[in-house]
Amino acid sequence: MYVEYNSNNSGGTWWLSDKDWEALEAAGWKVKWSSLEFLYDNKGNYVCEEDGTPKLVPVNSLGDQGKRQSWATVDKNGVYRWLGALARTAYRVGLDLRGAVDEWERVTGECATDAGCPCCGVPHTFTEYDDRGEYVSSGPKASYSAGW
């Protein structure tokens, strides 16, 4: 079982800092840095690690395929970034959805249920997969409304 975290540039800014991503990795999360890309098989499916998470490889190891897959650019310090973000996705193996979200909030100091802006959507999405890699659940859900 694992949980996938996806970050969204809601409201025009990334909600996690570089230090947040580094702290997640130190806490046991597998971070998909902008310098990494998914490895696919010849049928277009993810190649998975033994823990069920997608296998990540350096963008520059994929040759032309990596150039087509990645939108990351290298900043003035030689660091890969995707629209300015050091990373956008992370995986936590061995925790259910609630456990992973609780840990994520503790490590980053962020709130998983921040709604973000209505046009861009929620800034944080978490998806749980079982031991077979099958979808279990995801969230949070947001509701935006206006009234008199």
Per residue in 65-93, pLDDT (tens digit) is 545 555 777 888 888 898 889 999 999 99
> Tokens representing 122?
């929620």
Q: Is residue 32 part of a domain?
A: yes
pTM, rounded to two decimals: 0.88
Instruction: Give me the percent of the chain exceeding a pLDDT of 70.
Output: 93
Other beta carbons within 10 angstroms of residue 132's beta carbon come to 7
Q: Is residue 46 part of a domain?
A: yes
Q: Is residue 122 part of a domain?
A: yes
Q: Does residue 135 surpass a pLDDT of 70?
A: yes
Task: For residue 53, give the nearest of 71, 68, 31 by alpha carbon.
Answer: 31
Task: For residue 91, give the nearest of 38, 147, 144, 140 by alpha carbon.
Answer: 38
Q: Is residue 148 part of a domain?
A: no
Give the tens place of pLDDT for each residue, 54-68: 999 998 776 655 455
- Bridge partners (DSSP) of residue 81 are 73
For residue 26, the enclosing domain spans 2-139
Q: Is residue 33 part of a domain?
A: yes
Q: Is residue 116 part of a domain?
A: yes
Domain count, the chain: 1
Q: Is residue 99 part of a domain?
A: yes
Q: Is residue 146 part of a domain?
A: no
Cβ-contact 97, 136 below 8 angstroms: yes
